[in-house]
Amino acid sequence: MISKTMQEAINAQINKEMFSAYLYLSMAAYFESTGLPGAASWVRAQAAEEQEHAMKFFGHLLDRGGQVTLKAIAAPETSWAGPMAAFQAIYAHEQLVTQSITSLYELALKEKDYPTQILLQWYINEQVEEEKNAAEIIASMQRIEAHETAVLQLDHQLRKRGKE
Ligand code: OFO
């Protein structure tokens, strides 16, 4: 049986993962409307992953005899100053999520909640991947910024996500 403290913290994290999905979906709409379908497809795939992240926590709570309490999801922003600003916002957001996962892990250590510690190790690795992906896209954009053709080429590459 999971502790009430851990249960509350995981419910809060489910909300953050669902907010992440919302944020990426909002960006998908933004990229589509600004003529970058590749970037839109990349963030759409990311939105689907965020829902999976939420559902892993959802399943964990239920498997441990805990209670899932879904809270309202905050509205994400709807536009950004450009693709670079959007990917910078993604990077900053993922850094916040990493902090949040780290705090959850610290709580699981304090509570001696070994199953949650094991579950969180997956998220810790996932956050390394998510920060790395965003940082790599930003680095590519920094190299090609102001070259419209190159931005479109990068957009074409981003479209390949999940199709290989
Ligand atoms: Fe769930 O990893 Fe991004 O937010």
- What is the model's pTM? 0.91
Predicted confidence pLDDT, tens digits, the chain (164 residues): 899 999 999 999 999 999 999 999 999 999 999 999 999 999 999 999 999 999 999 999 999 999 999 999 999 999 999 999 999 999 999 999 999 999 999 999 999 999 999 999 999 999 999 999 999 999 888 877 666 677 778 888 888 875 65
* Ligand 1 lining (C-beta closer than 6 Å): 17, 20, 50, 53, 94, 97, 126, 130
The CATH number for 35's domain is 1.20.1260.10
What's the pLDDT score for residue 162?
59
Q: Following DSSP, what letter does each residue of 78-115 receive, concatenated?
A: ---SSHHHHHHHHHHHHHHHHHHHHHHHHHHHHTT-HH
What's the pLDDT score for residue 14?
98
Domain encompassing residue 91: 4-163
What's the pLDDT score for residue 164?
56
Angle, CA 87 vertex, CA 81 and CA 91 arms, to 5°? 130
What's the pLDDT score for residue 163?
63
The preferred substitution site among 130, 131, 132 for testing ligand 1, maximizing ligand atoms within 8 Å of CB, is 130
Tell me how far the alpha carbon of residue 8 lies from the centroid of ligand 1, in angstroms: 19
The preferred substitution site among 14, 17, 133, 137 for testing ligand 1, maximizing ligand atoms within 8 Å of CB, is 17
Nearest to 161 by CA among 48, 49, 42: 42
Structural domain count, the chain: 1
User: Which is the closest atom of ligand 1 to the Cα of 49?
Assistant: 1
Nearest to 130 by CA among 31, 43, 18, 15: 43
